[in-house]
Structure 1
């Protein structure tokens, strides 16, 4: 099977199926450090990335933004001094879609490549 970070997001519509509980557990095993949490009644993926200063955090957030534009799938980002929190979920289904797991893996690749 192709690693998540090498896969491409597919178009998602409001009637797209969310990732089921058994799939979610399997996919989470491929995303070290990510949390799956229920926030505002929506399942989301979250990870915090640490940096030495605000400029590095902002540079990483900009990389995530560029990736999001390329894949047409956009996260919520919280940027603070030395830290970026990334939240992935699929807005049109208000839940987790396979695309979110792909994007989480791609986000980790950005972090690896930026260090």
Structure 2
């Protein structure tokens, strides 16, 4: 399971996942979309909240996760909505790390709903 894994540091030997590998890992996630911006595939999902304060709190949790994993997403905070986008800058594509962090975002969201 992705959620039980830790991010591995990307180095000079790290390679972006193939489209087939990305699609296989994407099947393990719920409602994440593969988007391409500036020829770089990325993972993206928007989470909905009842108000700004709840969205802000979730953004803080995602930021803490990013620091723990030393892997940093784009986080867009709006009233009642947080959009998180993961990709590996150093390899200009998607790595297993992005899928691990996406799964962990979902777990953070689920723990907030309980």
| TM value normalised by structure 1 | 0.95
* 2:35 aligned partner: 37
The partner residue of 1:48 within 42, 46, 49 is 46
* 1:74 aligned partner: 72
| TM value normalised by structure 2 | 0.96
Inter-CA distance 54–14: structure 2 relative to 1 (3 Å threshold)? farther
Output one character per residue of 1:61-94: Cα deviation in whole Å (capped at 9) or x when no partner.
0000000000000000110000000000001111
Is there any run of 5+ residues in structure 1 with no aligned partner, and where? none
Count of paired positions: 113
Inter-CA distance 80–14: structure 2 relative to 1 (3 Å threshold)? farther
Is there any run of 5+ residues in structure 2 with no aligned partner, and where? none
Q: CA deviation at 1:16?
A: 1.0
In 2, the alpha carbon distance for the partners of 1:51 and 1:106 equals 18
* 1:10 aligned partner: 8
Q: CA deviation at 1:22?
A: 1.1
